Structure 1
Amino acid sequence: MPMVWRRALLIACITPACASAVAAADGAAPQERGSMMLDALVVSATRSETSVMESPVSVSVMGEQEIKRTNAVSIADVLRDVPGVTIDESSLPGMKRIKIRGEEARRGAVLIDGQEITDHTSYGAPILVDPALIERIEVVRGPHSVLYGSKAISGVVNIITKKGGTKPLQGSAGASFMSATQGYGANALVQGTTDGWDYRLFVGRTEEGDRHTPDGDLPNSNSENKSISGYVAYRADGHKIALAVDRYELSSGSTTSPSTIGSAFSKFQLDMPTRDLQKVGVTYDLDKPSDWIAKLHADAYYQTIDRMFTQFVASGTAIPAASAYDYLHNDQDTQATKGFTAQVDWTPHKDHLLITGAQYLRDDLDKSMTRTGRSGVGLATAVSRYADMEGHTETISIYGEDTWKLPADFSAVLGARQYWINSALDSLQSNDAGYKMRSTSDSAPIFSATLLYAGIPDTVLRGGFSQGYVYPTLVQAFTGSYFGASSTTRPNPDLKPETSNNWEVGMRHGSGGLTVDTSLFRSTARNYIASLSCAVVGTSGGQCAVGNSTEGTYVNLDRAESTGVEMDARYHFAELGLTPYATGSWIRRKYFFRSASSGKTGIPTVSGRIGLRGERTLWDGATGYADLYMRGGSRADELSQSSAAAGTISLTQVRAWRTFNASFGADVGGYHLGLDLLNLTNLTYNTTPDESNQPGRSVVFNVRADF
């Protein structure tokens, strides 16, 4: 069949006529779950239970059924179509992270059951939780540092795991197959509740081989992810105390574009054989201890992250002979985190809900880096560098937020947080003169304010202002990195914390079958932290030595500006069981440094998904569904430092793209079957410069049994 006819057929299949044929069956259609999305209850928006409709911030919720029907094996893929979200792989397909509103992944807070997964790296925390363990995911878009602290400058991803269930003994078992990687996933869950006790035990494993694309397999793109999670809780007379233990193990290869070999590099191989997380957490809740207090909450956790990277890298033909190199890099570290939160929800008046709390967070990093090999003309000079370091960051903060119902259908939400932070390099053993013992500290207040109006039937309007705050990581301030190209990226203890001011207006409407959630935002971040070549920075900024233009350092850019629109809209035809929908965003982002500026930041201006979902009752106890959709994004260009020569700038261009996809499934009794047909036109594409080439035409199959 000619390509033009195949595309015409696919376009026809996102019309109601085609979808009706796919979804048709006897019986009335159940209520479309999307029409209920504004009624969903969330806790991340205000740190207390509220509906999406009444939330003072932009928030998206993915429920258990919606997560199950994505057939995704990673949380990042589950969230791929949330407005304002893009995926960051950074050459490591097995370690996907998410970027919110164009910010780097490390500028977003990742929480598991409200407890932060801190990560002192330059790339941010990957989300390792198996989707089969998740009850729901809440994504707050925009600065939320007032309630969730440093690292929430772009938003918050709060992953709420399954707990005790509804019966003394229940559970599930599932398996997935991904043709693009010849990969598989398997998981099993046992949970229950009896006599005030809740419990859960989960195990999961995912293995993926090299990714197959229309241009061939991506070498060294395989990965493996294993997880085990346990939970037990006791409830009595309004009290609840719970213990959770989690372990996640990840290993991933790194893929490099074949065009890189021979120009910038003659050798480039990066592996991450270890990226493991262990966590023990306890929580305590007391509901309604008095007329003035709605809830008391306290939680504490101890977490360790073990990381290991290895890299073989050698200069290519574009590197002058005097700067030639052939190196082996090893980077191994352990990060230990202690966290504690105490919160009181006050009800001093029927029109007020006042939240007050205090948080303590301490990260300790033990890091070892080595560089061995040869450099110079004919690789005549032996190189052997090492740096063994220990450092810490300690944060104490208090916060409060008051939700106040005003006359004439108005509500106001006012919040504030005060930080006290100290950070230091505590010990150092190195033959590298570029490292020094230093310490830093800071204290800062931040604020937020939102006004909501609910005087229009079935509609809530909101407008607000919020501030964000991010303190430099231990890598940025003290340890730096040997990784990347040939050069070291030097730390900079003189970095200033990043701050941002964010203005946002939004509207939510839900009536009949129509649901609309949209927002317009403008953000300005000051002292934005980035790594630049010393040839660009010079000796007047960062930690660049005189005459050394081959290294890099972390610096504060003057500012980063973002303007955007996000939308989620759908209409449910109850009599047909059909729901056309569209989700997407328009974002313009720009960086400013000294006299230069650039709008080529690697973020597509327009991205989103449009489709038609059909759902029907097949027979008693059986439901079938079909989802025919198109994903797409506009061109995304990124200016960055070239790996070929110090101080030069390279332009990475990502073409506009669109893929046609279909998803089918059925829930029959306690069984779920799902089938995804992806990239039906076998398009060669990647969504941003941070993603490797995406799979070609492929299939994902998922089966799950509940008992």
Structure 2
Amino acid sequence: MIKRVAMTLSGCCFASAALAHEPGVVLPDLTVSAGRVEQVQGQTIAPISVIDRETLDQRQARSLDDVLQEIPGVTASSGPRRDALQPTLRGLSDGRVVVRIDGARQNLQINHRGQTFFDPALLQRVEVLRGPASTLYGSGAIGGVVDLRTLDADALLASGAVHGGRVFSGYQSNADERVLGATLATRQRGFGLLGSLSTAQANDYQDGNGERIAFSGSDSESALLKATWAAGEASNFSASYLSFDDESLSRVTADRPRGDVIVRDIQQRTGSLRYTFQPLGSALWDLDVSAYRTTVDMDEQPEDPTRPSIVNELQTTGLDLFNTSRAVTGPMAHQLTYGIELYRDEQVGLENGQPRPQFENAEQAVMGAFIQDRIALIERAALTVGARVDRIKLSAERQGLESIRYTEVSPQATLSVVLTDRLDAYLSYAEAFRAPSLRELYVGGQHFPGNTFVPNPDLDPERAHNLEAGLLWSRSGVWNTADRVHGQLSVYRNDIDDFIEQIVRGDGDPAMPNTTRFENVTEARLEGIELELRYDHPRYRAALIGSRVRGDDRTQGDPLAAIPADEITLLAAWRAVEGMEIGGRGRHAATQDRLPLTTDPDAAGVAPSHAVADLFASWQLGSALRLDARIDNLFDRQYRRAVNLVPNPGRNLRLQIGYDF
């Protein structure tokens, strides 16, 4: 069998157990599953990064932006207001990234609003797969996948414990944010039950110039109920219910500095059932089945009584089933993963209780089937090939809007080679697609005074063709038996045909004056390079992370909008005594002046270069009490990330105390 297959280094997490390790103890391996096959990190066929609970605690994560830090080529865009945040992977966002919570797809797409809403305090781990992944995840995975997994009883309780819990309280100085949370768990005879509640209230934050960013506060409540049952050695069941509520002042265009003031009430509910069948030593069965429903209600009540009240609702119901079988044919070993995915989106839009054409009552039904074979060719090489077929039907209630059908095929191939005992290489080609959203196809009504949305049932899906090459260097025992170094270099080019953009036309346009329509207007190309180098030792750690993305409209020759700036991050931490770690992080972003021509008065201008420094410290006092402290933006710099239209927060002191019992 090959020693390592198709290379990646993820690297966003350092195992929490390492904080208490003594010199001479080997650091534990980490596993990932976002590629649908659980395997040791560094042996996956795509760049996958992992953020574990230890890392989320140390960051005192309160938003998607906190979760996605320190991953090359990844950021949270459209913020910093939390009701607008979206994941951006390799320059792609806005429905071009698949987001899942406990296997449930989060498919909401409305301009100027976020895609999914959750409290990071209820997460156990996050996996981020960078690059096109439609072969395994279907429509929308042009940029990659963000897979969120919630807490369960086994994750919370110490080995051998039957009952237990955790309470925590946090504070952030910039927005005067106050956080409270409590979790209780029990397990016995193979059954586990966990319940968790959290609440957070934050005022408007201030930028580095001391200016208050209006309507950036939030008032949220979250809850999680999760049951698990180990029914024998092979079968495992789980059921989870996750809720999120936030009723806060905001803007209709939450990602912009201007817009009508509203009270936005967000209610998200995600229910998931999961069954796994993994007989020990079985070559035939490694089965994973999930059924789910996600509902997002976004009610918007205007501050101006003459403006209409708005309701946007999306309900997604789905089934995801896959199995992995292993076999040997002659000199080749096969790891065959195959499955089906079914889901339905049903959206409802109301304006003062009547149908709202800007968010048309419509539905989407998707059926996908996929197969992937990882073949060990010889001792030092492996080939992974796969394909997925998706059939998609979209329809709207309004008379005169046609039903639309698409059939898409997404192939993928990766060749990986072990060059030396410490150096691996891979070369991959993958195709991915994104079907037009219900809103893009069927949107109607007024866009703004004097301008009207026009539906476009002739939209074609976006189709991506990604070529990628990478090197992975890994070495343990550099200076002693307990340390290790990981390094990864990835280079990619992603060509996207029929890129969909919103086109706003004025009264001077002879064809469709004073209209807005989504159209296939662009042949886009995104090219990038990602570098990651990490050193980990039981007493200290360090990291160098860098990324560069270039996005161009190959039709017009202009740069693409909302492309991240070139960034480099340095991190260093010292585990001074057992249970205590102190460290710092510095991030430098280059000037982002590669911008398209636009008449949008709120469009992002040049984002100047900036450097931001953070300090952090963690103390684990015995087995029960944990303290975390950090200062973000230590020097109170004024800056705006290139993927945002609103300035980022200034200096922010974060404190959190947690008690396990």
What TM-score, normalized to structure 2? 0.87
Measure the CA separation in 2 of the matches of 1:634 and 1:344: 45
Aligned pair in 2 of structure 1 residues 32, 452: CA closer, same or farther (>3 Å)? farther
| 2:7 alignment counterpart | none
Measure the CA separation in 1 of the matches of 2:376 and 2:518: 45
**Among 382, 402, 405, the residue aligned to 2:373:** 402
Measure the CA separation in 2 of the matches of 1:475 and 1:537: 26
List per-residue Cα deviations over 1:464-491 (Å, max 9, x = no partner).
Answer: 0111111111111112575678744433
**Among 616, 624, 631, the residue aligned to 2:580:** 624
Counterpart amino acid of residue 603 in structure 1: I
List per-residue Cα deviations over 1:510-538 (Å, max 9, x = no partner).
Answer: 21332212211110111111111124995
SS of the equivalent of 2:136 reads: helix
| 1:4 alignment counterpart | none
**Among 67, 71, 78, the residue aligned to 2:67:** 78
Measure the CA separation in 2 of the matches of 1:385 and 1:413: 46
Aligned pair in 2 of structure 1 residues 491, 178: CA closer, same or farther (>3 Å)? farther
Give the drift of 1:189.
1.3
Which deviates further from its counterpart, 327-336 or 209-218?
Answer: 327-336
Measure the CA separation in 2 of the matches of 1:272 and 1:486: 25
Counterpart amino acid of residue 306 in structure 1: D
Within-5 A mapping of 1:491-640? 491-511=455-475, 512=478, 513-535=484-506, 545=512, 548-549=513-514, 551-572=515-536, 577-593=539-555, 596-599=556-559, 601-618=561-578, 623-637=579-593, 638-639=595-596
- Higher gyration radius (CA): 1
**Among 129, 133, 136, the residue aligned to 2:118:** 129
Within-5 A mapping of 1:382-531? 389-427=360-398, 436-480=400-444, 482=446, 487-511=451-475, 512=478, 513-531=484-502
Give the drift of 1:29.
6.8
**Among 185, 196, 202, the residue aligned to 1:202:** 196
Measure the CA separation in 1 of the matches of 2:633 and 2:660: 30
Measure the CA separation in 1 of the matches of 2:183 and 2:508: 53
Counterpart amino acid of residue 568 in structure 1: E
Computed over aligned residues only, the root mean square deviation of the Cα atoms, in angstroms, reads 3.0
Give the drift of 1:126.
3.7
| 1:10 alignment counterpart | none
Q: Does 1:276 align with 2:267?
A: yes
SS of the equivalent of 2:216 reads: coil
Measure the CA separation in 2 of the matches of 1:271 and 1:311: 4
Counterpart amino acid of residue 588 in structure 2: G
Measure the CA separation in 2 of the matches of 1:631 and 1:605: 12
Measure the CA separation in 1 of the matches of 2:203 and 2:180: 15
Is the Cα–Cα contact under 8 Å of residues 104 and 270 in structure 2 kept in the other structure?
Answer: no
Counterpart amino acid of residue 418 in structure 2: A
| 1:360 alignment counterpart | 342
| 1:233 alignment counterpart | 228
Where structure 2 has 5 or more consecutive residues not aligned to the other structure, the ranges are: 1-18, 479-483
Give the drift of 1:116.
1.3
Aligned pair in 2 of structure 1 residues 387, 413: CA closer, same or farther (>3 Å)? closer
Aligned pair in 2 of structure 1 residues 331, 72: CA closer, same or farther (>3 Å)? same
Counterpart amino acid of residue 387 in structure 2: A
Is the Cα–Cα contact under 8 Å of residues 94 and 252 in structure 1 kept in the other structure?
Answer: no
Counterpart amino acid of residue 54 in structure 1: Q
Is the Cα–Cα contact under 8 Å of residues 103 and 290 in structure 2 kept in the other structure?
Answer: no
| 1:699 alignment counterpart | 653
Measure the CA separation in 2 of the matches of 1:177 and 1:445: 49
Give the drift of 1:293.
1.3
Within-5 A mapping of 1:664-703? 664-669=617-622, 670-703=624-657
Measure the CA separation in 1 of the matches of 2:396 and 2:186: 46
Is the Cα–Cα contact under 8 Å of residues 393 and 423 in structure 1 kept in the other structure?
Answer: yes
SS of the equivalent of 1:146 reads: helix
Where structure 1 has 5 or more consecutive residues not aligned to the other structure, the ranges are: 1-26, 314-325, 373-383, 429-435
**Among 291, 302, 315, the residue aligned to 1:300:** 291
Aligned pair in 2 of structure 1 residues 465, 251: CA closer, same or farther (>3 Å)? farther
List per-residue Cα deviations over 1:53-112 (Å, max 9, x = no partner).
Answer: 111101111122122111221233121221111222357344422211111232101111
Aligned pair in 2 of structure 1 residues 30, 126: CA closer, same or farther (>3 Å)? farther
Aligned pair in 2 of structure 1 residues 572, 643: CA closer, same or farther (>3 Å)? closer
Aligned pair in 2 of structure 1 residues 484, 229: CA closer, same or farther (>3 Å)? farther
Is the Cα–Cα contact under 8 Å of residues 83 and 113 in structure 2 kept in the other structure?
Answer: no
SS of the equivalent of 1:476 reads: helix
Aligned pair in 2 of structure 1 residues 102, 43: CA closer, same or farther (>3 Å)? same
Give the count of matched residue pairs. 622
Measure the CA separation in 2 of the matches of 1:195 and 1:668: 31
Counterpart amino acid of residue 612 in structure 1: A
Aligned pair in 2 of structure 1 residues 28, 498: CA closer, same or farther (>3 Å)? closer
Measure the CA separation in 2 of the matches of 1:119 and 1:427: 20
Give the drift of 1:279.
2.2
Counterpart amino acid of residue 569 in structure 1: L
Measure the CA separation in 2 of the matches of 1:368 and 1:460: 54
Measure the CA separation in 2 of the matches of 1:29 and 1:97: 37
Is the Cα–Cα contact under 8 Å of residues 167 and 660 in structure 2 kept in the other structure?
Answer: yes
**Among 11, 27, 34, the residue aligned to 1:44:** 34
**Among 186, 203, 213, the residue aligned to 2:207:** 213
Is the Cα–Cα contact under 8 Å of residues 109 and 116 in structure 1 kept in the other structure?
Answer: yes
Identity %: 19
Q: Does 1:243 align with 2:222?
A: no
SS of the equivalent of 1:87 reads: strand
| 1:100 alignment counterpart | 89
SS of the equivalent of 2:463 reads: strand
Which deviates further from its counterpart, 600-609 or 458-467?
Answer: 600-609
**Among 318, 324, 349, the residue aligned to 1:339:** 318
Give the drift of 1:650.
6.0
Measure the CA separation in 2 of the matches of 1:606 and 1:388: 36
Measure the CA separation in 2 of the matches of 1:585 and 1:578: 24
Give the drift of 1:553.
1.2
Is the Cα–Cα contact under 8 Å of residues 653 and 689 in structure 1 kept in the other structure?
Answer: no
Is the Cα–Cα contact under 8 Å of residues 587 and 605 in structure 1 kept in the other structure?
Answer: yes
| 1:431 alignment counterpart | none
Measure the CA separation in 1 of the matches of 2:117 and 2:106: 11
Give the drift of 1:599.
1.6
Aligned pair in 2 of structure 1 residues 689, 105: CA closer, same or farther (>3 Å)? same
Aligned pair in 2 of structure 1 residues 235, 568: CA closer, same or farther (>3 Å)? same
List per-residue Cα deviations over 1:658-707 (Å, max 9, x = no partner).
Answer: 11221112111121111111212211111125252112122011111122
